Amino acid sequence: MPEPKSAFDATYPCDFYEPAELFEPDQMYTIPEIGRLLQGLEPDAEVDPDTEAVLVDWAVPWVLVYAEDMVVAEPLSEDGPGYYGLATEGGSDSDIDSDATPVDESA
C-alpha cells in the first residue's frame, strides 16, 4: 500500500552504480552476486534467503537497464546460473558465429 512521503524521516536520490564502477573487467558475476555488489557487499558475502531475494529483486532490473554495457555467458553447468560481465571496448567478447541472425529489437 502506498505511503505518504511525510511518513518518512528522509528520502534519498535513487542513484545506482554503472557496470564499469561495479564490475572487475575480467570477471563474470551471477545475478545474486550483482545484487550483493549493488549493496556494497562482496560477491560471496553470506546473506540470509530473505535478503538474497531482495538483492535479486534489485539486480534484475539493474541488469536490464545496463544491458548495453554488459555481456552475458552461458551457465558453466546445465543447472547453473548465467553470468554477466562488463562489455569491452569492441563490444561482445563472443566467439558466436557472425552468420547468426540478429534480433530485431524494434518489433
13 class by beta-carbon count within 10 Å (0-12 exposed, 13-18 middle, 19+ buried): exposed
For cell 511518513, name the residue: 7
* 96 within some domain: no
Mean predicted confidence (pLDDT) in 64-91: 90
In a domain, 11, yes or no: no
Give me the half-sphere count of Cα atoms (radius 13 Å) on the Cβ side of residue 17. 17
Backbone angles phi, psi at 4, to 5 degrees: -70, 145
Distance CA 45, CA 62 (A): 19
Mean pLDDT throughout 90-103?
47
Q: How many domains are there within the chain?
A: 1
* Per-residue pLDDT band at 90 (split at 50, 70, 90): low
- In angstroms, the CA 44 to CA 57 distance is 17
Asked if the structure places residue 92 within a domain, the reply is: no
pTM: 0.74
Range of the domain at 61: 17-86
Question: Is 4 domain-assigned?
Answer: no
- Residue 49 counted as domain residue: yes
More confident residue, 102 or 35: 35
The pLDDT value recorded for residue 71 is 97
Task: Identify the pLDDT of residue 13.
Answer: 86
Instruction: Work out the mean pLDDT of the chain and round it to a whole number.
Output: 86
More confident site: 96 or 61: 61
Band of pLDDT at residue 34, cut at 50, 70 and 90: very high
